[in-house]
Amino acid sequence: MAGDLFGDMDVEYATTVADRAIRSMSQQSVPVTPGNFSVWFDYAMGTSPALRKTIDVLIGNKRKFDASINRELYATFVKPQSEAEADFPEQLRNVISSAREFLATAISDNRTQIEALGQVASEVTSQVTSQVQTNSDPRLIIEKLVAELARATTRAAALETNFLATTQELDNIRDSLKAAEERSNTDALTGLANRRLMDAFFRSAQIAAMEKDEPLSILMIDIDHFKKFNDTYGHQVGDQVLRLVAKVLQDHVWESGLAARYGGEELIAVLPGANLAACTEVAERIRLRISEARLTRRTTGQAITSITVSIGVAQFRLAESAEAMIERCDRSLYQAKRSGRNRTVTENDIEGENAAA
């Protein structure tokens, strides 16, 4: 892990882990380069369950650790980890959680104290009542004590009310943090997930796909001649169209998947469980639905030319990074544009290359 790079790891332990890493690397014929070594050191340490799982699946499938897989492993599991560590909202949330826990404990301690004081008070009062005939001094003292205790109890109760208000405040902070985090994960125009969330989502979808041994595919949509559409009808009408396309996409993505706005007018759907054929089918349904949509200008009710989209489809390959897969999907999309638009093209149809390699 990047965070351990200069840490105070016990020398003997580090050497053992390094030995294990190098042994595994030599078993899998992985060249001992700095990048590969950090991958396999992590693997030997077991710090990242996702990395462990991925490598175990690759070994289980007798996959050769060639340069491309090694690069992907590094890019996917070693490099981004330091970014994940800097997850500020997460840290803040944890701080708030512990503050809240602390307050809850304080309140409960406070209650116990009040009860204890109350008990002492009633014990003392009954003693006083039995002694009252013989000596009146202790009674006075004890009455004072009882009054003092009553005041303490009131103070404690006020303190508790304060604590509760503070807790409520912390709850509010936590809620607004959560809302802020959601906003930072959502695209304001379309309401879809943004690229940031999509990247994180893809990472976990990728692990889940390997664990369940299930396919995982993505489709990427780009509106055809959208620039011309904007020029003709104005940017605002363009925005409405973009929202419509986002809505159609969202309607076709199942519970375990994710629809996201990847760029300006480029949208992506991540479809866990779908192979290339299933994903293509979904893409075609989306494409047809959009081309059949009747658009009218909101202000005048006037009809607008229909729009079309081009779609690229790609299926996840073991251990590859999101970037690699999206890049392949993007090339499929480009091919769809080149071969006339308003169509779906898969990675298997990319011209001039062996997509299955």
Residue 38 partner contact from ligand GH3, Mg ion, none using kind-dependent CB cut-offs of 5 to 8 Å = none
Stretch that binds ligand GH3, among 38-46, 97-105, 225-233, 271-279 (CB under 6 A): 225-233
> Is residue 335 involved in binding ligand GH3 (CB under 6 A)?
no
Residue 147 partner contact from Mg ion, ligand GH3, none using kind-dependent CB cut-offs of 5 to 8 Å = none
> Is residue 230 involved in binding ligand GH3 (CB under 6 A)?
yes
Give CA–CA dist 210/198, Å, rounded: 18
In the complex with ligand GH3, the residue whose CB is nearer, 41 or 226, is: 226
> Is residue 349 involved in binding ligand GH3 (CB under 6 A)?
no
In the complex, minimum distance from the CB of residue 328 to ligand GH3, in angstroms, rounded to a whole number? 18
% helix / strand / coil in the chain, to the nearest 5? 65, 10, 25
Cβ pair 218, 279 in contact under 8 A: yes
Within 224-263, the residues that bind Mg ion by CB under 5 A are: 226
1 burial level (CB within 10 Å; 0-12, 13-18, 19+): middle
> Is residue 267 involved in binding Mg ion (CB under 5 A)?
no
Give CA–CA dist 73/229, Å, rounded: 42
In the complex, minimum distance from the CB of residue 348 to ligand GH3, in angstroms, rounded to a whole number? 22
In the complex, minimum distance from the CB of residue 266 to Mg ion, in angstroms, rounded to a whole number? 5
In the complex with ligand GH3, the residue whose CB is nearer, 238 or 272, is: 238
> Is residue 222 involved in binding ligand GH3 (CB under 6 A)?
yes
CA within 13 Å, CB half, 29: 6
Give CA–CA dist 167/104, Å, rounded: 8
> Is residue 222 involved in binding Mg ion (CB under 5 A)?
yes
What's the alpha-carbon Rg for the chain, to the nearest Å?
32
Residue 243 partner contact from Mg ion, ligand GH3, none using kind-dependent CB cut-offs of 5 to 8 Å = none
Name the nearest CA neighbour of 258 among 315, 199, 314, 301: 199
Q: Which of 341, 342, 348, 355 binds ligand GH3 (CB under 6 A)?
A: 341
Give CA–CA dist 309/118, Å, rounded: 75
Q: Which of 20, 139, 285, 337 binds ligand GH3 (CB under 6 A)?
A: 337
Backbone angles phi, psi at 313, to 5 degrees: -130, 140
> Is residue 238 involved in binding ligand GH3 (CB under 6 A)?
yes
In the complex, minimum distance from the CB of residue 226 to Mg ion, in angstroms, rounded to a whole number? 4
Within 259-318, the residues that bind ligand GH3 by CB under 6 A are: 264-265
CA 142 remoteness from chain centre: 61
Q: How many residues comprise the chain?
A: 357
Query: Across the strands, what pairs with 245?
Result: none
CA 139 remoteness from chain centre: 66
CB atoms within 10 A of CB 259: 24
In the complex with ligand GH3, the residue whose CB is nearer, 1 or 237, is: 237
> Is residue 312 involved in binding Mg ion (CB under 5 A)?
no
Q: Which of 21, 223, 249, 307 binds ligand GH3 (CB under 6 A)?
A: 223
Instruction: Give the single-character DSSP code of 246.
Output: H
In the complex with ligand GH3, the residue whose CB is nearer, 17 or 242, is: 242
Instruction: Give the single-character DSSP code of 293.
Output: P
> Is residue 191 involved in binding ligand GH3 (CB under 6 A)?
no
What does the binding site for ligand GH3 look like in residue numbers (CB under 6 A)? 189, 222-228, 230, 235, 238-239, 242, 264-265, 337, 341
